[in-house]
Structure 1
Amino acid sequence: MTEPLSGNPYFACILTRANVDRQFQLVIPRSFYPELPAATVPAALSCGNKTWVVSYLGDREQRRFDGRWRDFAVDHRLKVGDACVFELMHGGGSLNFKVQILDGSVPSSPVAAASDDGSSSDFPITID
């Protein structure tokens, strides 16, 4: 279930193998760098009623979360094609991100995508 964003800065990413497999790396988009410190600081990833503590590695050429991102990814069974929205929440001494997960599963056939109201994958979903 997703919730509306609260107006805080956010970034989104569609997960690749590097995010959810052996490497478990989540690199922050360069466009989001101005919102974050150029230092390594504690960060919290909140999803549902639980929080995962990671480090934000902001003093690197590619800013990213440390290896503890793996715990978040494994706990949520994230897979290639899923998307995550990281909303930077204000307050507290560390970086706090509210994370929303969007399931990237694609139906194997249009028949599997049809619903009770007759709609199917022939009618795309538009996201504004």
Structure 2
Amino acid sequence: MIIFQVRKSARLLKQNLSRQDNCLSPKSTQCINADPDASFSQAEILPLEGKPYFSLIIGRSQLDKPYCVIVPDSIHNFLPESPSVVVLCYQNQEWAVNFNVYANNRKAFVGGWRQFSVDNNLRIGDACVFELIDAKELRMRVQILNGQVPARSHVGNADIPIIID
């Protein structure tokens, strides 16, 4: 058994959101459905549900201009052929992110991705797993693993856990 401890999200949106702020619109790029009283002391790593997914190691292009995530070809068949909005779900919070389709059939998360990365304190080397939990509504569950894993890998167990801080 491998045990991971995941870091806290640096910016937990615990502001008092009005009911209007909880609306999802195509131009919305901020967190929605946030519970100001929620406690997110530790992220939970959940097993995949057997739905289409892809993983990504965060690099410079995701955190600096052009602030985007290129979606790998392996998941293209499960995504729309036209621009739309994808909802990224992480720690009981949701972000509306623009999903773009380019002429060369390249698909990417663009507008709103930067806000997601800032709100969750993503850094170069962090890993994200995006699982398509609802293809019709275009919702993806995101899991974030801190990238500060030791260069030498080892198997952890209950007595010697792998701690990602």
Task: Specify the TM-score bucket, using the shorter chain as the normaliser.
Answer: 0.7 to 0.9
Give 5+ residue unaligned stretches, structure 1: 110-116, 121-128
**Match status 1:63 vs 2:92:** no
Letter of the 1:69 partner, please give it.
W
Pairing 1:40-119 to 2, within 5 Å after superposition: 40-61=83-104, 62-90=106-134, 94-107=137-150, 117=159
Q: CA deviation at 1:57?
A: 0.8
Structure 1 distance, partners of 2:103, 2:63, is 21
In 2, are the aligned partners of 1:88 and 1:96 still within 8 Å (CA)? Answer: yes
Question: Aligned pairs, how many?
Answer: 116
- Provide the alpha-carbon RMSD of the alignment: 2.7
Letter of the 1:29 partner, please give it.
P
In 1, are the aligned partners of 2:86 and 2:98 still within 8 Å (CA)? Answer: yes
In 1, are the aligned partners of 2:79 and 2:135 still within 8 Å (CA)? Answer: no
1:119 to 1:91, Cα distance in 2 relative to 1, 3 A? closer
- What's the TM-score once normalised by structure 2's chain length? 0.61
Aligned match of 2:5: none
In 1, are the aligned partners of 2:97 and 2:112 still within 8 Å (CA)? Answer: yes
- What's the TM-score once normalised by structure 1's chain length? 0.78
Letter of the 1:74 partner, please give it.
V
Deviations 1:46-98 (A, max 9, x none): 00111000111124432101221000000011011101000001265x31000
> SS at the partner of 1:72?
helix
Structure 1 distance, partners of 2:78, 2:49, is 16
Structure 2 distance, partners of 1:39, 1:74, is 26
Structure 2 distance, partners of 1:119, 1:8, is 28
Query: Which structure has greater helix proportion?
Result: 1
Aligned match of 1:23: 66
Structure 2 distance, partners of 1:53, 1:75, is 13
Structure 1 distance, partners of 2:161, 2:98, is 44
